[in-house]
């Protein structure tokens, strides 16, 4: 198996009939047109592919159609290219699709290219010189301003060696796609191969894929297994980003697969219908109004989008703006992905841009922070972006969501988190699984907690504190359990709150009981403690006290709360000590006499009447000390 130091994807671009396919054949020996109709009509309709090597660089060539009716096919091919081979016929110079394809490559973020002045055999020196001037003028100031311009002829072979050399030089400057990231393959073809089953092909834009891998199909979100992988027509152990790749999939019919779908690392991404973007309108396009519907192309997929421009009512030609795109179908896109928009009629390319937030929420007038947030996403550091994302996630931000929104690797996320935690910009409320809240939200939750505890203790001076669960419930659903727990833990560690088991109180606060209240409380407890299992009626106990009824009731509540007393039925309250003794007694009985006990035996054992025995046995059943079995109980 040959290994190449570099794989570079080259896409042709240019007007119909300017000699793109002929040039691909001259360079690679493969004529890229495959369809019978293409051969009959002598034009390219759909994408064609060819390969060639030069100076250790493996070139994957994607030949696109020049016909204006097939620009959407061109877009599916152009999405993954590293280098554009801009083809301009020397006898015709720049034509409409030369411009449209050039605009598309620029909007897609293609960084490098080479210009071939084809059919040089049909032009004399003067004409060639004039065309070259035209082209130089056209490319001035653009991403192709330094691109070599080389006259070639597919017919005579003139200039081909020079073109090859120039392409190899430019390829050396191309920054390759990142094989270390999550795997993503936008599908451009799907077919069945005899004896293999479903095969899809595409430009591997990120990560790598190997036989045996599990992959996720988007937008359907089906899990599939990779049976085999080919790159450039040969089976490989692993295909990496930057290569033309064919993937043989198990568990699916080829008819269920089509251009526009994507394969990706499982469980990392989400399909979306709403994205926030930076949208640029071409200088040649008419102004774009609010809520314009356009054709939307990203990767190999296309759908319809409605455009909502943020902060202004229309977009002027040549300008860009932050914009929300509502898509008709679900797509898989990640922050940084490029897209193209085309007008409805006539269907021409009018603009494009970059995805900033792939999981955008519905735009709301009251969401005034969105533009600033999107600007951070557009040009902020990882740390700034993560801090901004955390601030907007009131409920907290989880690892999966960060990955789905950014495509960052866990390592990148962890180092950004570390820096932000150290700078006290975010609070890590859980490390595993990772969950973050902004320092601001965390501070607000803590403030609220202090207030709630304070307020509760003022309203209930006789209670030792608020139950943890009640405190949690008082914050409402907008505060997640983890945030609550972390906020409470920190306040306890800072000695601002006192957390004892299930009870939360102001640090250092003791219940200030008046002497007569303290005495009354003791009397209540003593009444139940001395009664054993033959407890008195609650009303009777309270009536004997010197404090007024309302306060007596509160004192009783506080004894129930700290579990000195236990309510077994609405009418019957027992001292916890009596119940604990009963449990011991039953355990001893079980040892001595076996696990079964009848109601009469229970009465005999405890010396109580039916009035107490039945509620107590039911209580013991609830406590899983006993289990009812017919007329008897089984001691557990
Ligand atoms: N004389 C001459 N003819 C050429 C040359 N290159 C291509 N042609 C002819 O120009 C015509 C169009 O060539 P293609 O390669 O099909 O053009 P294309 O740009 O691929 O066209 P589309 O794919 O339909 O956009 C064919 O008849 C070719 O034989 C050349 O270098 N010299
Ligand atoms: Mg062609």
Q: What is the pLDDT of residues 358-409, one digit of tens each?
A: 999 999 888 889 999 999 999 999 999 999 999 998 888 999 999 999 999 9
pLDDT at position 413: 95
pLDDT at position 119: 98
Ligand 1 contact via 101 beta carbon (within 6 Å): no
Average pLDDT of every residue of the chain: 92
Return the percentage of the chain with pLDDT > 90, whole number: 76
pLDDT at position 511: 62
Q: How many A from CA of 144 to the centre of ligand 1?
A: 23
pLDDT at position 330: 95
More confident residue, 538 or 226: 226
Q: Quote the CA–CA distance of 241 and 281 in Å, as a whole number.
A: 30
The owner of tokens 């309108």 is: 281
Report the nearest-CA residue for atom 12 of ligand 1: 17
Residue 339, sorted as left (phi over 0), alpha (psi -120 to 50) or beta, turns out to be beta
Atom of ligand 1 nearest to the CA of 122: 1
pLDDT at position 512: 64
The owner of tokens 């001076």 is: 461
Give the closest residue to 595 by CA, choosing from 625, 575, 569: 625
Cα–Cα distances (Å) from 580 to 160, 454, 532, 596, 602, in that order, read 96, 34, 11, 20, 16
Ligand 1 contact via 68 beta carbon (within 6 Å): no
Atom of ligand 1 nearest to the CA of 87: 19
pLDDT at position 475: 85
Q: Quote the CA–CA distance of 16 and 302 in Å, as a whole number.
A: 22
> Averaged over 408-421, what is the pLDDT?
94
Collapse the DSSP code of 455 into the 3-class scheme (helix H, G, I; strand E, B; otherwise coil) and give the result: helix
pLDDT at position 509: 65
Q: Quote the CA–CA distance of 634 and 628 in Å, as a whole number.
A: 6
Ligand 1 contact via 122 beta carbon (within 6 Å): yes
pLDDT at position 351: 98
More confident residue, 420 or 175: 420
pLDDT tens sequence across 467-517: 888 999 888 877 888 889 999 999 998 888 988 778 898 887 666 677 788
Ligand 1 contact via 73 beta carbon (within 6 Å): no
Q: Quote the CA–CA distance of 487 and 497 in Å, as a whole number.
A: 11
Q: Quote the CA–CA distance of 327 and 314 in Å, as a whole number.
A: 19
Binned at pLDDT 50, 70 and 90, residue 461 comes out as confident
pTM listed for this prediction: 0.78
101 touches 345 (CB < 8 A): no
pLDDT at position 336: 94
Ligand index nearest the alpha carbon of residue 22: 1
148 touches 117 (CB < 8 A): no
Q: How many A from CA of 174 to the centre of ligand 1?
A: 28
pLDDT > 50? residue 1: no
Ligand 1 contact via 22 beta carbon (within 6 Å): yes
Report the nearest-CA residue for atom 23 of ligand 1: 44
Both tokens assigned to 511: 């219940």
Report the nearest-CA residue for atom 3 of ligand 1: 119
Binned at pLDDT 50, 70 and 90, residue 447 comes out as very high
Pocket test for ligand 1, best of 11, 13, 22 (most atoms within 8 A of CB): 22
pLDDT tens sequence across 550-595: 888 888 988 888 788 999 998 899 999 999 999 999 999 999 999 9
First to last CA, the chain: 69
> Averaged over 67-85, what is the pLDDT?
94
pLDDT > 80? residue 116: yes
466 touches 497 (CB < 8 A): no
483 touches 428 (CB < 8 A): no
Q: How many A from CA of 19 to the centre of ligand 2?
A: 7
pLDDT > 50? residue 440: yes
Ligand 1 contact via 20 beta carbon (within 6 Å): yes
Q: How many A from CA of 118 to the centre of ligand 1?
A: 8
Q: Are strands 149-151 and 112-118 parallel, antiparallel or unpaired?
A: parallel
Pocket test for ligand 1, best of 33, 154, 156, 160 (most atoms within 8 A of CB): 154
pLDDT at position 507: 80
What does DSSP assign to residue 69?
G
The owner of tokens 């699984």 is: 433
Q: How many A from CA of 52 to the centre of ligand 1?
A: 20
More confident residue, 560 or 94: 94
Return the percentage of the chain with pLDDT > 70, whole number: 99
Q: Give the count of beta carbons closer than 10 Å to the beta carbon of residue 267.
A: 13
Report the nearest-CA residue for atom 9 of ligand 1: 19
> Averaged over 61-76, what is the pLDDT?
95
Atom of ligand 1 nearest to the CA of 38: 24
Q: Give the count of beta carbons closer than 10 Å to the beta carbon of residue 94.
A: 20
Both tokens assigned to 331: 């797509």
Q: Please state the three-class secondary structure of 293-317 as a single string.
A: EEEEEECCEEEEEEEEECCCCEECC
């Amino acid at each position: 198996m040959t290994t190449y130091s570099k794989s570079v994807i080259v896409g042709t671009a240019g007007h119909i009939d300017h000699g793109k396919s002929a040039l691909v054949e001259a360079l690679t020996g493969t004529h890229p047109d495959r369809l019978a109709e293409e051969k009959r009509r002598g034009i390219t309709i759909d994408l064609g592919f060819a390969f060639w090597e030069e100076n250790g660089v493996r070139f994957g060539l994607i030949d696109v159609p020049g016909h204006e009716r097939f620009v959407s096919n061109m877009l599916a091919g152009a999405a993954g290219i590293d280098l554009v081979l801009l083809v301009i016929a020397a006898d015709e110079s720049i034509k409409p699709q030369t411009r449209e394809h050039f605009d598309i490559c620029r909007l897609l973020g293609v960084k490098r290219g080479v210009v071939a002045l084809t059919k040089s055999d049909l032009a004399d020196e003067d004409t060639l010189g004039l065309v070259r001037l035209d082209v130089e003028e056209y490319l001035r100031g653009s991403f192709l301003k330094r691109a070599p311009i080389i006259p070639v002829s597919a017919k005579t072979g003139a200039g081909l060696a020079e073109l090859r050399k120039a392409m190899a030089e430019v390829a050396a400057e191309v920054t390759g796609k990142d094989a270390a990231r999550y795997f993503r393959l936008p599908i451009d073809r799907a077919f069945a191969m005899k004896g293999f089953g479903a095969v899809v092909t595409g430009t591997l834009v990120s990560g790598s894929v190997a036989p045996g891998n599990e992959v996720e199909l988007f937008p359907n979100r089906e899990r599939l297994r990779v049976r085999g992988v080919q790159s450039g027509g040969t089976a490989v152990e692993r295909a990496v980003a930057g290569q033309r790749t064919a993937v043989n999939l198990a568990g699916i019919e080829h008819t269920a697969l089509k251009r526009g779908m994507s394969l990706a690392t499982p469980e990392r991404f989400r399909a979306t219908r709403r994205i926030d973007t930076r949208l640029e309108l071409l200088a040649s396009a008419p102004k774009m109004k609010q809520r314009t519907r356009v054709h939307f192309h990203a990767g190999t997929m296309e759908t319809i989008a409605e455009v909502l421009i943020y902060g202004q009512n229309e977009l002027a030609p040549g300008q860009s703006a932050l914009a929300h795109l509502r898509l008709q179908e679900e797509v898989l896109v990640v922050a940084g992905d490029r897209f193209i928009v085309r007008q409805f009629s006539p269907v021409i390319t009018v603009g494009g841009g970059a995805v900033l937030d792939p999981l955008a929420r519905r735009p709301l007038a009251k969401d005034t922070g969105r533009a600033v947030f999107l600007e951070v996403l557009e040009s902020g550091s990882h740390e700034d972006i993560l801090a901004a994302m955390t601030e907007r996630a009131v409920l907290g931000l989880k690892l999966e969501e960060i990955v789905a929104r950014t495509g960052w690797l866990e390592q990148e996320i962890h180092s950004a988190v570390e820096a932000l935690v150290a700078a006290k910009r975010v609070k890590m409320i859980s490390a595993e699984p990772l969950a973050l809240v902004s320092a601001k939200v965390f501070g607000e939750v803590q403030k609220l907690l202090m207030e709630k505890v304070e307020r509760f203790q003022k309203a209930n001076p006789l209670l030792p504190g608020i139950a943890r669960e009640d405190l949690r419930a008082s914050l409402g659903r907008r505060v997640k359990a983890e945030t609550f727990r972390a906020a409470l833990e920190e306040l306890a560690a800072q000695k601002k709150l006192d957390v004892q088991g299930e009870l939360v109180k102001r640090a250092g606060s003791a219940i200030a009981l008046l002497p007569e209240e303290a005495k009354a409380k003791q009397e209540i407890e003593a009444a139940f403690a001395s009664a054993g299992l033959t407890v008195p009626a609650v009303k009777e106990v309270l009536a004997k006290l010197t404090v007024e009824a309302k306060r007596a009731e509160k004192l009783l509540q506080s004894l129930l709360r700290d579990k000195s007393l236990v309510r077994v039925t609405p009418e019957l309250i027992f001292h916890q000590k009596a119940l604990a003794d009963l449990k011991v007694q039953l355990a001893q009985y079980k040892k001595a006499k076996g696990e079964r006990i009848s109601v009469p035996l229970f009465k005999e054992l405890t010396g109580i009447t039916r009035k107490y025995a039945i509620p107590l046995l039911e209580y013991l059943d609830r406590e899983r000390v006993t289990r009812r079995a017919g007329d008897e109980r089984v001691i557990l």
